Chain A
Amino acid sequence: MKHVLLKTDGLSKSFSSGGALQHVLKNIDLELYEGDFTVIMGASGAGKSTLLYALSGMDTPTLGIITFGGTVISSLNQDSLALFRRKHCGFVFQQIYLIDGMSVMDNVLSAGLLLCSDKKALLEKAGKLFEAVKLPPETQNKFPTQISGGEAQRAGIVRALINQPEILFADEPTGALNSKTGLDVLGTLTAFNQQGQSVVMVTHDMRSALRGNRILYLKDGVILGECHLGVYTPDDTARHETLAAFLSEMGW
């Protein structure tokens, strides 16, 4: 039995738009496990991002409880949520979101220094992560506007991982990249997962979804079904077929 990292009970989220209430997430009970590469799929507007923001403490649910470890995070205030995020979550965004005014290295350090004041150890850790995502040292001193999208996204992954979070969240991390650089980023995520990093990723793209070992399908605010794929190996046709069958069953 795998260790439960994060658990939701009756998670609901509604938005009021133009007077009418829109229920985006409906009573979701979900457990996320340590070491998993969980992939959330679903049609556009299904509520994938909304779910991810709630899980990662970026946003608070309308109803329901989210527990992380022993802590109920769904009832925390904004500042406590910030503290929670900095300690336990890493986040990789579709739009990359590095701060333009800071060098790549400073983007990473600005997150790292929040928790660790030992600069030397931090620089060492950052160095290792940069090496792992295959970003050469000269890139580290450039500014976000001076590097490619793929490089920027890998820098974003380094920033997300610098505080050794329990879970790495990624919302369509390859959405803004071309397929070659997208593959690099996926490779990076897969490699970290294989070293034990728990990952939760939202994607549209079936090829990206293949990286996961647990696929959740979201539709109309509920988890319609899930599919387990086992450890990722490249060019695994059986894996591909299993996922394709699951998706067509879900109405993809």
Chain B
Amino acid sequence: MKNSILLARSNLRTAKGQAAAIIVLILLASLMLNLWLMLSMDYRQNFDRYHDKLNAEHVTLTVDSGSSEMREFLAKTLKKDERTAAYSLEDSMHTVGLFTYNGGEVNSEFVFLEKEAALSRPVGTVEIVEDSRIQSGIYMPMLYQSDDIAIGKTVELSLGSKKISYQVCGFFNSVMAGSHNCTMCEFLLTEDQYEKLKASDYAPESTLCSVRLKDKMESENYEAKLKNTMSAQYPALRTVSNSYALVSQSRYISQLICAGIMSAMAFFILLIALVVIASNIVHYIQENMKNLGALKAVGYTSQQLVLSLLMQFLGVSLTAALAGIGISYTLFPSLNEMMIAQTGIPYETRFLPAAFFLTLAILGSAVALAVWLSSRSIRNVEPITALRQGVRTHSFKRNHIPLGKTNMPLHLALSMKTTFSGIKHNLTVCITMLVLSLVVVFSGLMTENMIRDTAPFINLIVGETADSCINVKAQAEQDFVRKMKDDDQVKKLYLYDSIEVRHAGGLGLMAMICDDFAKANNQELVFEGRFPKYDNEIAIAAKYAKEQKLHIGEEITITANGKKASYLISGFTQISNNLGKDCLLTRAGYERLGELQNPSYYLNLTSGTDIDEFNARVKQEMAGAVNTTINIDATVSGGVVVYVSLMKIIVIGVLMLSAIIIAFVLYLLVRTMLGSKKRDYGILKAIGFTTRQLILQTALSFMPAVTLSTAVGLTVCSFIINPLTALFLSSIGIVKSTFLVPVGFIIIAGIGLILFAFATACLLSLKIRKITPKALLAGE
């Protein structure tokens, strides 16, 4: 054991640079690994902790009525269901509304509560996270705290067609209704403001019902059943609901994406680090045949020699891993900040022993395995042959590229000879470049479809978008449509509404209703089969279909408004709005279940039209007909901005990481190569080769492997990146991704990657300057 330590130390001293490069790779890997584990082992669980802390509900329902008769019925229904653990009913006001946030618009179902009442609820309480002495005003969900929405500032809410302004008194946290990702958005008003709003007719009086369940896994079913019971009993009352399952998933989408990318990067970097370690060891054994033989001759066993390597690399790796974990804790707060912008749930960074030990265990065992596998050839070193240095590990049986026959220029031919003689180096280069190709293609895909042009991403995540959405009163619909058709700012007008329906024997589904899906802007929405065309057809979310084992051509029964109708499945859709619980119906199809109350229309406007101005004009001109107008463009970009900025950081991060990785892998390879070729380079210098020629030769010798693997990697990745993306996003309901693969970007980035590798190899080979023919002759 002691001997092995001595050996390990002497090995380390002679290979400082290599140890440094391995340290950096392992450090990056452990950094990513630990961040990933922190995100996936604790971050999401924080939601549950918060949920428990605030004794939050698993199902939330608002019913637009304050009548005691309704409340009695509701309470009876809740008590009858034995899954109910506790519930609370609260006076509230509820309406559809919007406000400006982060340059976009937040559109949601607004629920107003009186502050003190909200704070004293037994189930679904809220927590004030920031308060002031302002006596009269509004408390906003913590998520919306920003430059424009801050204590003392005034926030303007649009409620239906009315506008109302409040001074911001503070911020609060509500687990189930504290963000626009959870259907409902709560606001707390001071008592005077609450009474004032109640006296106005801006928002109807309603009942907020929060139910805690014995088993949270039941939340979706419970929600569906409760809502159905209520709408069957009170078909005229508007109800809105959400469930633990929906909220906990939708608040953590960016956490999911981030964790996914971290884990992928972590394992890629680890793979590269292992390949580098393995090729290092193989090389070390080749170079040190003589020393190893000598050690065996004086009585070292193979096991001791392997052990010394193991300790050397494990020591270096674990030290680096510790540093990486340390850095991950310093980086985590900024990641957390970005993530909170979407989750809205505060998270306090804390030390996670499980993640810590798991990171060390994963890295340690991976490194140990790599060392053990690659050092097995030590067993074959025999003391005698090694001492004679008669063993030439390279086989020179074949003369690659004979200079007398080839037409290649001399320097190219000499580099190719080097290339052919270093298969293991080539393998390292190839694996590295293949991994980095995937990174480049991924970055290209995201840059093209999410950063440069946000439309493909929006189409994938949001489904259907247009410029403006106008909700009109049922009786004025004909008039509205006629007027819009004559309006020269309107390019396209189609009915697009969403109403909750229920799959008999299954869950509640959000039905998107369109008069003619051929008019929809996003024709990719149905990716298998086709849009529903007739009144007996339906397209359903692929994720849901898969869960329920439904196929195209099958018949399913849908219920709504107490009615029932059967539909044939015409196709599968993927919309992540409701995390894969959606369906598409034609208007005629929906009308078999009931009339559309106050339909919503989507409008595409002529280019150059200001959407807000247009909406305002329509609202003014048809005051009696229009309920609400929504600037879809602004709403969507407000919601998407978080993802886009997150992705920007990720793309920049992974590209920089790629550059670092190439540099380090090449550094290692060039170093080992220069080490083994010192004599050759000395001879070549003696017979008249210049430093520049040798640097060029060295750099060129890496190029076949770099170029080939980059080309192959980029091509293959371009084909598999869309399926991979879909796989990655499958948990939010995405089954098929049709992102545009930016060929131009990828080609340019590929060439850039190759040139960067070449330039780096040249730079790293500058050490050749120090090799002198004299040093060779003097036997140094």
Which residue in B402, B410, B414, B683 is a CB contact (below 8 Å) of A97? B683
How far apart are the CA atoms of A171 and B690 in the complex, in Å? 22
- Per DSSP, chain B at the interface is helix
How far apart are the CA atoms of A87 and B688 in the complex, in Å? 8
> Are A53 and B684 interface neighbours, CB within 8 A?
no
Interface 0/1 of B685-718, CB less than 8 Å to A: 1111111100000000000000000000000000
Asked if B394 CB lies within 8 Å of chain A CBs, one says yes
> Are A99 and B777 interface neighbours, CB within 8 A?
no
Complex interface residues of chain A between 67 and 106 (CB less than 8 A to chain B): 78-79, 82-83, 85-87, 91, 93, 95, 97-103, 105-106
> Are A123 and B689 interface neighbours, CB within 8 A?
no
> Are B403 and A114 interface neighbours, CB within 8 A?
no
Asked if B404 CB lies within 8 Å of chain A CBs, one says yes
> Are B688 and A83 interface neighbours, CB within 8 A?
yes
Take A101-B421, A145-B392 as given contacts and tell me if A85 and B687 are in contact as well, using a CB distance cutoff of 8 Å: yes
A contact residues around B685 at 8 Å (CB): 82
Take A103-B399, A123-B404, A145-B396 as given contacts and tell me if A85 and B774 are in contact as well, using a CB distance cutoff of 8 Å: no
With both beta carbons as reference points, the residue of chain A lying nearest to B778 in the complex is identified as A49
How far apart are the CA atoms of A59 and B688 in the complex, in Å? 13
Asked if B231 CB lies within 8 Å of chain A CBs, one says no
> Are A99 and B396 interface neighbours, CB within 8 A?
no
How far apart are the CA atoms of A122 and B776 in the complex, in Å? 28
Asked if B680 CB lies within 8 Å of chain A CBs, one says yes
> Are B396 and A114 interface neighbours, CB within 8 A?
no
A162 to chain B, nearest CB (A): 9
Take A141-B399, A171-B777 as given contacts and tell me if A109 and B404 are in contact as well, using a CB distance cutoff of 8 Å: yes
B contact residues around A222 at 8 Å (CB): none
> Are A143 and B396 interface neighbours, CB within 8 A?
yes
Asked if A63 CB lies within 8 Å of chain B CBs, one says no
A contact residues around B100 at 8 Å (CB): none
> Are A78 and B691 interface neighbours, CB within 8 A?
yes
> Are B691 and A79 interface neighbours, CB within 8 A?
yes
With both beta carbons as reference points, the residue of chain A lying nearest to B683 in the complex is identified as A97
With both beta carbons as reference points, the residue of chain B lying nearest to A120 in the complex is identified as B404
B contact residues around A101 at 8 Å (CB): 394, 396, 417-418, 421, 680
Which residue in B396, B683, B692, B776 is a CB contact (below 8 Å) of A79? B692
How far apart are the CA atoms of A53 and B418 in the complex, in Å? 29
Asked if A110 CB lies within 8 Å of chain B CBs, one says yes
Asked if B773 CB lies within 8 Å of chain A CBs, one says yes
Complex interface residues of chain B between 378 and 401 (CB less than 8 A to chain A): 392, 394, 396, 399
> Are A111 and B680 interface neighbours, CB within 8 A?
no
B96 to chain A, nearest CB (A): 77
Most central of B403, B414, B679, B682 by chain A CB within 10 Å: B403
B770 to chain A, nearest CB (A): 10
B401 to chain A, nearest CB (A): 9
How far apart are the CA atoms of A119 and B413 in the complex, in Å? 14
With both beta carbons as reference points, the residue of chain B lying nearest to A126 in the complex is identified as B404
By Cβ-Cβ distance, the 4 closest A-B pairs, closest first, are: A86-B688, A143-B396, A109-B403, A113-B410
Interface residues of B (CB under 8 A from A): 392, 394, 396, 399, 402-404, 410, 414, 417-418, 421, 679-680, 682-692, 769, 772-774, 776-779
**Additional A-B contacts beyond A79-B691, A82-B689 (18; CB < 8 A):** A58-B777, A59-B772, A95-B777, A97-B683, A101-B421, A102-B399, A103-B402, A106-B417, A109-B404, A110-B403, A110-B410, A111-B687, A113-B403, A114-B689, A119-B404, A145-B392, A146-B396, A163-B688
